[in-house]
């Protein structure tokens, strides 16, 4: 399976297949720098989102993450602020000159979400919802395609082809943990998959250590591992008050930890010859 | 589940539970340095083993790994050199002042293996073979307990208790990849588990990126990820001629890559405040 | 977890929670009879579909299955005939007085599919595509909700609540195999889940032995097992010429086997006190 | 993968590969009858075991199961009565003219266990403990080889070869549930594997619905499913007082249910053309 002339990729820099993807006018994912995309799981209010965005910007971050439409296992959980959430995201991002990544749950929301966001996120549960992939393939915006939590790398790359087959190849993949038999953690971060994507796919690959662990106390370690394995960026949940978060309270890091997080991840990025933004 | 005062462990250095384990007279696992344990999958001959050991020692390595008794899925595969393999390992290790780690497949081999090795390895398939755990618990030698490839962290720690309950608590754990639905890689390296062990167990934790990936081209990345997640050491397969290895040919790195491997892993170790040996 | 007075459910007929669901004017799923829903994976042509429907009707079957919109892992595989497929299904079903079950891939197809079908099928990949669940919840048609191949029973029942929360509680569940580490079969039929649903949910439960095995040579055995475990019906792929099927060729049974299939399954149904239709 | 002339095995009786295995002087496993092997998880006392054995014999059962050596995840759980348990098993079995199946945990116990039992059981955790397989291969007694809960069918059949390569091919396989992501049940009964074994292996195949579900309320359904899928027998836990069982209390059926259990399973056996003993 492994060609004779490619005993190990680290010795073959020309093997680096990643083609950088442009986001907005001033950022590139999949290039020299590891890109941090941080923010709350859900946009809960203007004040909450602005507080987080301000800190993200102050520390040099470039991308704000946050959910306006939330896929929830139970129909009785908080489902997000919807359009109001999108408006809040855009407003605070513009105030602090940040880019936005947020999820579109379905085809019908796509035009609205695309109007407000810089990166269209497709969630793990929707990785094989083909109508959504096809619709996203018609937009001129980068698409962040999360891995289905029980999808193989091969199925994931084929899902990306469903998008690119419609004309949009500005695709960024995101490993967010897979489901295994282990129950001590919410998911299992598949660092092997990150390494494999770097060698077999042109798409940049991010990791989401928040969902991949489901535990705030493991997020630092998972983030470092992902970057060491070759991740081109991280999607991480930070909240100004994790204990009161309306979703994913167990896995959000406190905003006060963001500076230290950037510092620790930055050191690992440097160890593999990269910077962070 | 996560205590309020332990939002994230990296900010609580006193949370570091690891108690270092002494190996031989001059080495400690679980302390400041990341310990590399390198060598062939199987001891195939004196010359092969000596060649590898010489390079390990030349580059500053302290521990030689190699199998004399090999657990093989098929009864018709190469099963190892047995006692002769142990004698070779000991001889070349002594020549180059290295320590030895090698596997005991069953209770009846344990006295012999313990006579020749510095660390008794218990393999993944045997993690819940209790008679072997009890017998290893009677020796005054460190035991390297590999995680069952489909065992939870909780079962793994309970397996360690089967050893310690007999009096031997010089236990070193080794995450070697778990079985998931993904088939592109031989196993899935569970970096979450490494981070979890660091926070919940006193035992040092190694990783085996060779078995965890099953592909030579992913071993560098997996090794970096494991160290970034907090691993106290690595067990890695190197062969002077991987294409002709009698076992695990797909995952062994060429000996010529060892220097570079130590260099790359060393940089990540440094990024998390550690050295390597 | 198990109440004292419910040591084993078979001794507590009053534990049978299933509430039958009406389909069309003349059929009930979840009642006394095991309902067979048979037909081709994909509607490929009028002649093919009519040939299959005729045999289904001749043998006393009541429901014709067939896909007009096919979710395919690769964008380059056959995607179904779409509207033409729906028209063919309806026409031949009406000719032979059969009911139709067929899948709606996305929200936008739902009105059209609902116009032609008697049961709206939601596929495994879409089990957590909430906009589709909500939309299906607005129709006055039974919904067949396949289990996500990566979803727990608990998540599955919560997905059903996403439908019922919109007003439609005519829901029929379908176990179609889950993904495990085993690769000799396409999926793993979870007969435990069938038994569990019978005791904990009001929704009737079908099984799809074709997808659950992925191998024609195992479909008979899996169908018998599902009915023995308590399944209220089966969704099974039969093709007039399996070797030339445009999708799922490996798992379709030849139409010539339908009579024998009904006979064998009927005997097991009888052994558990039920009939078949 | 599937030969053209073998579209579905049920139509090819000559495909039935199973070679019956003789147990004791008067019983055959893998022949016309489905063999029930019932009894407590652990032998706890003479009175308890005799009470169960008496009922087994009264209802026409032929094989008594019970553990004298118990593999337990925690070293602090009840580990079985050991030699005394073997003596009790043999004594009550002889009194009621039953055959015995019991587990040998390790190589060193094998001679003793073989002296007292009619079938040597090798447990799930030990499926790849090769020294035990090799040792069992030296005895002239049938070996019941449970599937590792993490092992593929292919690995299982190769484990059987480790036994047969030493000369003993009186091997009976037992599917006891595999580990999946589902947590509502202790394991996932793999009925597909039962069907696959019937078509690809000469060894008879049993199922253990007690361990495969871990819940007494699902054991009847799982037992019926296994027999419908082709199982040649069942290994089932019955206890005279499940609430006070020293191990596996949640999954043991009350002895009072045995008559009904035999009746229900017998009907399914009849539906697939077999009897029960």
Distance CA C202, CA C20 (A): 8
- In sequence order, the 6+-apart residues with CB closer than 8 A to the CB of A14 are none
Distance CA A258, CA A93 (A): 17
Q: Which of A12-21, A109-118, D74-83 has the highest mean pLDDT?
A: A109-118
Say what percent of chain D tops pLDDT 90: 86
Distance CA A58, CA C132 (A): 41
Is the Cβ pair A242, B2 closer than 8 Å? no
SS3 A248: coil
DSSP string, B150-183: T--HHHHHHHHHHHHTTT---EEEEE--B--S--
In B, which residues are within 8 Å of D128 by CB distance? 71, 73, 125-126
Of C108, C128, C130, the CB nearest to A131: C108
Task: From B177, B275, B259, B180, select the one nearest B227 (Cα to Cα).
Answer: B275
pLDDT tens for residues D161-186?
999 999 999 999 999 999 999 999 99
C-contacting residues in B 134-173 (Cβ below 8 Å): 150
Mean pLDDT of A65-73: 90
Say what percent of chain C tops pLDDT 70: 94
Q: Which residue of A has its CA nearest to B196?
A: A218
Burial class (CB in 10 A: 0-12, 13-18, 19+), C47: exposed
Q: Between chain A and chain C, how many beta carbons pairs sit less than 8 Å apart?
A: 74
Task: From D238, D239, D171, D179, select the one nearest D206 (Cα to Cα).
Answer: D171
More confident residue, A98 or A26: A98
Out of B172-181, D4-13, D221-230, which region has the weakest mean confidence (pLDDT)?
D4-13
Is the Cβ pair D161, B74 closer than 8 Å? yes
pLDDT confidence of residue C8:
44
Largest Cα span, chain C: 57
Helices (H) and strands (E) in chain A, counts: 9, 12
CA distance B182 to chain C (A): 8
CA distance A170 to chain C (A): 17
CA distance A202 to chain C (A): 18
Hey, which residues does B21 pair with through a beta bridge?
Answer: B29
Banded model confidence at residue C5, pLDDT cuts 50, 70, 90: very low
SS3 A145: strand
More confident residue, C129 or A6: C129
**Residue B8 clears pLDDT 70, i.e. is over it:** no
pLDDT tens for residues B135-166?
999 999 999 999 999 999 999 999 999 999 99
Using a CB–CB cutoff of 8 Å, tell me whether B183 touches chain D: no
In A, which residues are within 8 Å of D180 by CB distance? 181
pLDDT confidence of residue A179:
96
Task: Give, rounded to a whole angstrom, the gap between the first and last alpha carbons of chain C.
Answer: 36
Question: Is residue A216 situated within a structural domain?
Answer: yes
Mean pLDDT of C70-92: 91
pLDDT confidence of residue B19:
95
Interface probe, candidates D8, D179, D192, chain C, greatest C C-beta count within 10 A: D192
SS3 A44: coil
Banded model confidence at residue D244, pLDDT cuts 50, 70, 90: confident
pLDDT confidence of residue D16:
63
Task: From B125, B203, B118, select the one nearest B161 (Cα to Cα).
Answer: B203
Of D76, D108, D159, the CB nearest to B131: D108
Question: Is residue B121 situated within a structural domain?
Answer: yes
Using a CB–CB cutoff of 8 Å, tell me whether D183 touches chain C: yes
What count of other Cβ atoms lies within 10 Å of the Cβ of residue C24? Answer: 16
**Residue D74 clears pLDDT 90, i.e. is over it:** no
Mean pLDDT of B180-186: 94
pLDDT confidence of residue C15:
53
Burial class (CB in 10 A: 0-12, 13-18, 19+), C212: buried
The answer to whether the CB of B139 falls within 8 A of the CB of B120 is yes
Hey, which residues does C190 pair with through a beta bridge?
Answer: D190
Using a CB–CB cutoff of 8 Å, tell me whether B182 touches chain C: no
In C, which residues are within 8 Å of B180 by CB distance? 181
Banded model confidence at residue A31, pLDDT cuts 50, 70, 90: very high
pLDDT confidence of residue B77:
84
In C, which residues are within 8 Å of A73 by CB distance? 128, 155, 158-159
Dihedral, B227, B232, B235, B240 alpha carbons, nearest 10? 70
Using a CB–CB cutoff of 8 Å, tell me whether D184 touches chain A: no
pLDDT confidence of residue D15:
52
pTM, 2 dp: 0.93
Banded model confidence at residue D9, pLDDT cuts 50, 70, 90: very low
Using a CB–CB cutoff of 8 Å, tell me whether C8 touches chain B: no
Using a CB–CB cutoff of 8 Å, tell me whether D33 touches chain C: no
- In sequence order, the 6+-apart residues with CB closer than 8 A to the CB of D205 are D18, D172, D173, D174, D175, D194, D197, D198, D230, D231, D232
Q: Which residue of C has its CA nearest to B149?
A: C181
Task: From A155, A154, A156, select the one nearest A143 (Cα to Cα).
Answer: A156
Is the Cβ pair D188, C178 closer than 8 Å? yes
> Phi first, then psi: what are they for C64, rounded to 5°?
-105, 125
In B, which residues are within 8 Å of D183 by CB distance? none
The answer to whether the CB of C40 falls within 8 A of the CB of C237 is yes
Q: Which residue of B has its CA nearest to D130?
A: B71
Question: Is residue B75 situated within a structural domain?
Answer: yes
Is the Cβ pair B152, A7 closer than 8 Å? no
Write the CA distances from A142 to A40, A56, A82, A206, A226, integer angstroms: 21, 21, 21, 13, 22
Q: Per the structure block, which two tokens stand in for A11?
A: 């010795």
Question: Is residue A79 situated within a structural domain?
Answer: yes
C177 DSSP assignment: -
The whole domain housing A175 covers 21-276
3-state helix, strand, coil in chain C (%, to 5): 40, 20, 40
Distance CA D63, CA D82 (A): 20
Q: Which residue of A has its CA nearest to D188?
A: A181
- β-pairing verdict for D27-29 and D21-23: antiparallel
Q: Which position has the token pair 């030990």?
A: D126
In B, which residues are within 8 Å of D179 by CB distance? 150
Q: Which helix (H) or strand (E) holds C171?
A: strand C171-175
Distance CA C273, CA D146 (A): 32
Is the Cβ pair A148, C149 closer than 8 Å? no
- In sequence order, the 6+-apart residues with CB closer than 8 A to the CB of A263 are none
Interface probe, candidates A149, A181, A185, chain D, greatest D C-beta count within 10 A: A181
Using a CB–CB cutoff of 8 Å, tell me whether D181 touches chain A: yes
C-alpha Rg value of chain D to the nearest Å: 17
DSSP string, C91-155: HHHHHTT-EEEEE--SGGGHHHHHHH-SEEEE-GGGTT-HHHHHHHTTSSS-EEEEPPTT--HHH
Banded model confidence at residue A16, pLDDT cuts 50, 70, 90: low
Banded model confidence at residue B16, pLDDT cuts 50, 70, 90: low
In A, which residues are within 8 Å of D183 by CB distance? 183
Mean pLDDT of A167-181: 97
The answer to whether the CB of A145 falls within 8 A of the CB of A160 is yes
pLDDT confidence of residue D17:
87
Question: Is residue C224 situated within a structural domain?
Answer: yes
Task: Report the neighbours of B using a cutoff of 3 or more CB pairs below 8 angstroms.
Answer: A, C, D
**What is the sign, positive or negative, of the torsion defined by CA atoms of C218, C179, C184, D130?**
negative
Using a CB–CB cutoff of 8 Å, tell me whether C5 touches chain B: no
In A, which residues are within 8 Å of C106 by CB distance? 107, 129-132
pLDDT confidence of residue A71:
84
- β-pairing verdict for B205-207 and C253-254: unpaired
**Residue B13 clears pLDDT 50, i.e. is over it:** no
Task: From C71, C91, C70, select the one nearest C81 (Cα to Cα).
Answer: C70
Is the Cβ pair C131, A108 closer than 8 Å? yes
The answer to whether the CB of A14 falls within 8 A of the CB of B262 is no
The mean predicted confidence, pLDDT, of chain A is 92
Angle of helix D191-200 relative to helix D216-229, nearest 10 degrees, comes to: 30
Is the Cβ pair B179, C183 closer than 8 Å? no
Q: Please give the ipTM for the structure prediction.
A: 0.93
Q: Which position has the token pair 């793990």?
A: A124
Banded model confidence at residue A15, pLDDT cuts 50, 70, 90: low
Using a CB–CB cutoff of 8 Å, tell me whether A76 touches chain D: no
- β-pairing verdict for C143-146 and C119-122: parallel
**Angle at the Cα of A27 from the Cα atoms of A24 and A30, rounded to 5 degrees:** 120
**Tally of domains within chain A:** 1
SS3 B103: strand
pLDDT confidence of residue B9:
45
Question: Is residue C7 situated within a structural domain?
Answer: no
Q: Which residue of C has its CA nearest to B178?
A: C181
Question: Is residue C84 situated within a structural domain?
Answer: yes
In C, which residues are within 8 Å of B179 by CB distance? 181
- β-pairing verdict for A119-122 and A143-146: parallel
Of D185, D193, D267, the CB nearest to C192: D185
Is the Cβ pair B191, A272 closer than 8 Å? no
D-contacting residues in C 187-246 (Cβ below 8 Å): 187-196, 198-199, 212-213, 215-222, 224-230, 242-243
- β-pairing verdict for D233-239 and D205-207: parallel
Task: Report the neighbours of A using a cutoff of 3 or more CB pairs below 8 angstroms.
Answer: B, C, D
- β-pairing verdict for B21-23 and B27-29: antiparallel
Label each residue of chain D as H, E or C: CCCCCCCCHHHCHHHCCCCCEEECCCEEECCCEEEEEEECCECCCHHHHHHHHHHHHHCCCCEEECECCCCCCCCCCCCCCCHHHHHHHHHHHHHCCCEEEEECCCHHHHHHHHHHCCEEEECHHHCCCHHHHHHHCCCCCCEEEECCCCCCHHHHHHHHHHHHCCCCCCEEEEECCECCCCCCCCCECEHHHHHHHHHHCCCCEEECHHHHHCCHHHHHHHHHHHHHHCCCEEEEEEECCHHHCCCCCCCCEEHHHHHHHHHHHHHHHHHCCCEEC
Mean pLDDT of D244-267: 92
- In sequence order, the 6+-apart residues with CB closer than 8 A to the CB of A168 are A136, A137, A138, A139, A140, A141, A143
3-state helix, strand, coil in chain A (%, to 5): 40, 20, 40
- In sequence order, the 6+-apart residues with CB closer than 8 A to the CB of D251 are D41, D186, D210, D211, D213, D214, D215, D216, D219, D237
Question: Is residue A211 situated within a structural domain?
Answer: yes
Task: Report the neighbours of D using a cutoff of 3 or more CB pairs below 8 angstroms.
Answer: A, B, C
Q: Which residue of A has its CA nearest to C151?
A: A150
User: What ranges make up the beta strands (E) of chain A?
Assistant: 21-23, 27-29, 33-39, 63-65, 99-103, 119-122, 143-146, 171-175, 205-207, 233-239, 253-254, 275-276
C270 DSSP assignment: H
In D, which residues are within 8 Å of C7 by CB distance? 216-217, 242, 253-254, 257
- CATH of residue A174: 3.20.20.70
Banded model confidence at residue D75, pLDDT cuts 50, 70, 90: confident
Task: From D225, D260, D217, select the one nearest D242 (Cα to Cα).
Answer: D217
């Amino acid at each position: 399976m492994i060609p004779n002339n490619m005993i190990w990729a680290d010795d073959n820099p020309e093997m680096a297949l990643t083609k950088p993807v442009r986001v907005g006018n001033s950022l590139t994912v999949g290039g020299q720098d590891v890109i941090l995309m941080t923010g709350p799981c859900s946009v809960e209010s203007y004040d909450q989102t602005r507080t987080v965005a301000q800190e993200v910007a102050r520390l040099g971050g470039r991308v704000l993450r946050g959910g306006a439409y939330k896929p929830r296992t139970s129909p009785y959980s908080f489902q997000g602020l919807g359009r109001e959430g999108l408006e809040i995201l855009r407003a605070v991002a513009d105030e602090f000159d940040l880019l936005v990544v947020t999820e579109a749950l379905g085809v019908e929301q796509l035009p609205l979400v695309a109007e407000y966001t810089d990166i269209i996120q497709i969630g793990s549960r929707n990785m094989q919802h083909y109508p959504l992939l096809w619709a996203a393939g018609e937009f001129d915006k980068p698409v962040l395609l999360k891995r289905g939590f029980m999808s193989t790398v091969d199925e994931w790359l084929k899902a990306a082809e469903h998008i690119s087959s419609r004309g949009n190849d500005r695709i960024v993949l995101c490993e967010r943990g897979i489901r295994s038999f282990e129950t001590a953690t919410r998911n299992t971060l598949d660092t092997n998959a990150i390494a494999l994507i770097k060698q077999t796919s042109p798409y940049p690959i991010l990791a989401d250590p928040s969902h991949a662990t489901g535990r705030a106390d493991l997020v630092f370690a998972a983030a470092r591992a992902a970057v060491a394995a070759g991740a081109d960026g991280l999607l991480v949940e930070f909240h100004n008050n994790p204990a009161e978060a309306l979703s994913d309270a167990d896995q959000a890091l406190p905003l006060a930890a963001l500076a230290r997080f950037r510092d620790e991840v930055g050191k690992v990025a440097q160890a593999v010859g990269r910077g962070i933004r």
